[in-house]
């Protein structure tokens, strides 16, 4: 008997694909910014500025990546007929887990940053 593919498993597969696709977005400048403690992952699936004294280039990097992420999240939401915030939250949880594993900053529900 073949296992049935539910909408949830399809969404999960798409989100995992998104995480692999977003790997090129994790190019050296982003890794350096995360390792330096300037940027962290937020609960909503986007990057946040951890250190308010981050250089303008770091802030621009986060903004550019967030725009790309939002575009990808919208595409998934539209394809799956799922609310955008559901995609953002689901991916956000996965990115927070990855940040924890890599000892990068991530934002708690309280808004505080933790490494």
pLDDT tens per residue, range 16-35? 666 655 555 544 788 899 99
Query: How many other CB atoms are found less than 10 A from the CB of residue 72?
Result: 19
Q: What integer is the mean pLDDT of 42-57?
A: 95
- Could you tell me how far CA 107 lies from the centroid of its own chain? 12
Using DSSP's 3-state secondary structure scheme, residue 52 falls into: coil
Q: How far apart are the first and last CA of the chain?
A: 45
Whether the pLDDT of residue 110 is over 70: the answer is yes
Q: Which residue has the higher pLDDT, 9 or 57?
A: 57
Contacts of 82 (CB under 8 A, 6+ apart): 11, 76
Residue 26, pLDDT score: 43
d(CA 22, CA 4): 28
Mean per-residue pLDDT of the chain: 86
């Amino acid at each position: 008997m073949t296992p049935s593919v539910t909408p949830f498993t399809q969404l999960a597969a798409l989100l995992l694909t998104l995480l692999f696709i977003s790997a090129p977005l994790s190019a050296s400048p982003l890794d350096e910014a995360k390792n330096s403690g300037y940027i962290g992952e937020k609960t909503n699936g986007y990057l946040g500025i951890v250190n308010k004294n981050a250089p303008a280039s770091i802030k621009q990097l986060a903004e550019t990546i967030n725009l790309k992420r939002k575009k990808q999240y919208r595409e998934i939401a539209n394809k799956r007929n799922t609310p955008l915030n559901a995609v953002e939250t689901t991916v956000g949880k996965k990115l927070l887990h990855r940040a924890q594993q890599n000892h990068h900053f991530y934002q708690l529900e309280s808004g505080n940053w933790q490494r």
